[in-house]
Structure 1
Amino acid sequence: MEEIDRDDDSKEGKLRRWVANLQLESWQLELLITGFSIFLLASGIDEYENIRARINFNKLVATQDNTVIFAAAGKAILGTIPYVIQFFLISLLLHLLLRGFWIGIVGLSSVSNTIDYDKLNLKGPFKKYIPKRVRTLDDLIFYLDQVSSVIFAYTYLIVFSIISVVLVGCFLFIFIGTINFITGTFGMSSVASLGIVLIMILFVLLFIGAIVFFLDSILFSAFKKSKWFSVIFFPIYRVFSVLSLSFIYRSIYYHLITNFKRKHIVSVTLVLVAVAVATTRLNSWDRHTFFPGDGVHNARVIETSFYDDERKSRFVYSASIPSKVVKESFLPLFVRYSPSMNMSLAFFCPDAQGINDKTTLRESIEAGVQSQFDSTKTVVELLQKDNVSAENLISIIDCIESTFEVKVDGELIDLDFSFAYHPNENEKGFLQMIDLEAFARGKHVITVSHFEYQGAPFLGEVTRERFKMTQLAEIVFWKE
Structure 2
Amino acid sequence: MGGMFGTAYLALLVSLLVHVTLRGLWIAAIGLRYVSGDIDYDALRYQAIYRDWLRRSVGSFDDYIERLERYCSVMFSVAFLIIFCFLSITTYFLFAIALQGGYGWLVGRETMTTGVFTGAGFVSVLCLVLGVLYLIDFFTLGWFKRNRYTARAYYPVYRLMGWVTLAALYRPLYHNLVDDRFGRRLARLLPVFVLTILLVVSARIVTHGFFPYYQQDGAAWIDHRNYDDEGADIRSQRHRTTLSSRYVKDNYVEAFVAYRPRLHDPTIQRKYPDLEFARYTGLRFGEPMQLTQLYNLSDDYSYDSLLVAVSSMFRLYVDDSLRTDVPARFHYNSTREQPGLLYMIPAHTMDPGEHFLHIEAQHVVDDTLQWYTQPRVYFYK
TM value normalised by structure 2: 0.80
Q: 1:229 to 1:160 in 2, by over 3 A?
A: same
Q: SS at the partner of 1:476?
A: strand
Q: Distance in 1 between matches of 2:281 and 2:196?
A: 50
Does 1:433 pair with 2:338?
A: no
Shift in Å, 1:208: 4.8
Of 108-117 and 234-243, more deviation after overlay is shown by 108-117
Q: 1:236 to 1:307 in 2, by over 3 A?
A: closer
Q: Is the 8 A contact 1:351 1:396 kept in 2?
A: no
Q: Distance in 2 between matches of 1:477 and 1:206?
A: 48
Q: Distance in 2 between matches of 1:204 and 1:323?
A: 47
Name the residue aligned to 1:108. 32
Q: 1:401 to 1:199 in 2, by over 3 A?
A: closer
Q: Where does 1:50-61 land on structure 2 (aligned, <5 Å)?
A: none
Cα distance per residue 1:259-285 (max 9 Å; x no partner): 124762255324422430232122x33
Q: Is the 8 A contact 1:348 1:403 kept in 2?
A: no
Aligned length: 363
Does 1:447 pair with 2:358?
A: yes
Q: Is the 8 A contact 2:248 2:347 kept in 1?
A: no
Q: Is the 8 A contact 1:346 1:353 kept in 2?
A: no
Does 1:463 pair with 2:365?
A: no
Of 395-404 and 152-161, more deviation after overlay is shown by 395-404
From 393, 398, 401, the counterpart of 2:311:
401
Does 1:302 pair with 2:222?
A: yes
- AA aligned opposite 1:337: Y
From 257, 280, 288, the counterpart of 1:357:
280
Q: 1:301 to 1:104 in 2, by over 3 A?
A: farther
Shift in Å, 1:210: 4.8
Q: 1:182 to 1:289 in 2, by over 3 A?
A: same
Q: Is the 8 A contact 1:446 1:474 kept in 2?
A: yes
Q: Distance in 1 between matches of 2:215 and 2:48?
A: 64
TM value normalised by structure 1: 0.65
Name the residue aligned to 1:319. 241
Q: SS at the partner of 2:362?
A: strand
Q: SS at the partner of 2:326?
A: coil
Percent identity, aligned pairs only, is 26
Q: SS at the partner of 2:254?
A: strand
Q: Where does 1:56-455 land on structure 2 (aligned, <5 Å)?
A: 80-115=4-39, 122=46, 125-184=49-108, 208=129, 210-227=131-148, 229-261=150-182, 264-266=185-187, 268-282=189-203, 284-293=204-213, 296=216, 298-315=218-235, 316-317=237-238, 318-339=240-261, 340-357=263-280, 383-387=297-301, 389=302, 393-413=303-323, 414-454=325-365
Q: 1:92 to 1:156 in 2, by over 3 A?
A: same
Q: 1:324 to 1:360 in 2, by over 3 A?
A: closer
Q: Distance in 1 between matches of 2:192 and 2:84?
A: 18
Specify every segment of 5 or more residues in structure 2 that has no aligned partner in the other structure, as ranges.
285-295
Name the residue aligned to 1:47. none
Shift in Å, 1:324: 1.5
